[in-house]
Amino acid sequence: MLHINNLHVYYGAIHALKGVSFAVQQGELVTLLGANGAGKTTTLKTVSGLLRPARGSVQLESESLHKIESHEIVRRGVAHVPEGRKIFPRFTVIENLAIGGYTRPKSVLGAELDFVFQMFPRLKERQKQYAGTLSGGEQQMLAIGRALMTKPKLLLLDEPSMGLAPKIVEQIFENIRAINSTGVTVLLVEQNAAMALAISHRGYVLETGSVILEGTASELSGNDLVRQAYLGG
Ligand code: ATP
């Protein structure tokens, strides 16, 4: 469904992605692993059109995403949940979700909202609360819920576990697995490799802007390099 081919991305003189290629099939949950600075966030931002590649391509089904604007990419079915969540703290939960649904016809928004509330009953309970007063875990749920309001085919998740207590991380990963099981394809970037591989079908390891390893989640979990670098031995 998503084919990334030979991507090169620069920040000025910094060559952040040096020929990244990988694919995500329809319905899969795929994790990108890698140390700080490996290029994971840059990859997600390039898929969602926030960054432009100097070379290479991003294909979603038959469309070339690297040639279109980011708001058009959202309309093509790609939703990006950024690192740090970026919810609107002075708006309520329901207002944040409505903002997420801006690309969809009003007539279908009720169905999207029902889906979000089914995935995250906590958001339903707190719908009138200001987003800035939610806990970190609830804010992450809201960031994912806002992305789901666009009815994505492909959900890009950047470090959803960041700054959250282990119990909450488990809950969020269970939510991600449940969303994927409804047919939404997921590309996940995570520092928490053990949790990410536990819910993923496959994964890729990025190192200094290149893919150095790929495999099924169980292959990667058993790989010596992955165990030493990302799973604590
Ligand atoms: P992290 O987990 O720390 O976010 P990452 O794997 O997501 O790491 P990126 O954020 O994609 O890595 O960064 C890839 C490279 O690009 C790094 O060398 C980083 O220093 C550089 N970089 C990222 N953002 C910028 C920027 N806005 N300006 C200049 N260089 C940047």
List, for residues 203-212, the tens digit of each pLDDT value: 999 999 999 9
- Residue 206 has a pLDDT of 96
Match 């996940």 to its residue by tokens: 188
Contact (Cβ atoms closer than 8 angstroms) between residue 22 and residue 4: yes
pLDDT one-digit tens code per residue, 96-135: 999 877 777 777 678 889 999 999 999 999 999 999 999 9
Distance from C-alpha of 177 to C-alpha of 211, rounded to nearest angstrom:
24
Distance 158 CA to ligand 1 centre (A): 13
What pLDDT, in 10s, does the model give residues 217-228?
A: 999 999 999 999
Is residue 195 lining ligand 1, measured as CB closer than 6 Å?
no
Q: Which atom of ligand 1 is nearest to the CA of 38?
A: 6
User: Is ligand 1 within 6 A of the CB of residue 39?
Assistant: yes
109 CA → ligand 1 middle, Å: 35
- CA 18 – ligand 1 centroid, Å: 13
- Mean of the pLDDT values across residues 12-24? 97
State which amino acid sits at residue 211.
Answer: V
Ligand 1 closest atom vs CA 12: 29
- So what's the pLDDT on residue 100? 77
For ligand 1, is residue 40 a contact (CB within 6 Å)? Answer: yes
How much distance in Å is there from the Cα of 65 to the middle of ligand 1?
Answer: 21
Say what the pLDDT of residue 170 is.
Answer: 94
Give buried/exposed letters for 145-160 (b at 16+ CB in 10 A, else e): bbbbbbbbbbbbbbbb
Give the nearest ligand 1 atom to 158 CA.
7
- Is the C-alpha dihedral spanning 133, 138, 143, 146 positive or negative? negative
84: left (phi over 0), alpha (psi -120 to 50) or beta: left
pLDDT at 233 over 70: no
d(CA 63, CA 20): 18
CA-closest candidate to residue 81, choices 188, 170, 216, 225: 188
Question: Which of 8, 32, 36 should be mutated for ligand 1, with most atoms under 8 A from CB?
Answer: 36
User: Over pLDDT 90: what percentage of the chain?
Assistant: 85
- Does 36 contact ligand 1 (Cβ within 6 A)? yes
Q: Calculate how far, in angstroms, residue 228's C-alpha sits from the geometric centre of ligand 1.
A: 23
- Reference 111, options 142, 68, 149; nearest CA is 149
Minimal-distance CA residue to ligand 1 atom 9: 39
Q: What does the pLDDT look like over 62-84, one tens digit per residue?
A: 899 988 999 999 999 999 999 88
Q: Is the CB of 77 under 6 A from ligand 1?
A: no
- The band of 232, judged by pLDDT with boundaries at 50, 70 and 90, is confident
Tokens of 20: 């990244």
Q: Mean pLDDT across the chain, nearest whole number?
A: 94
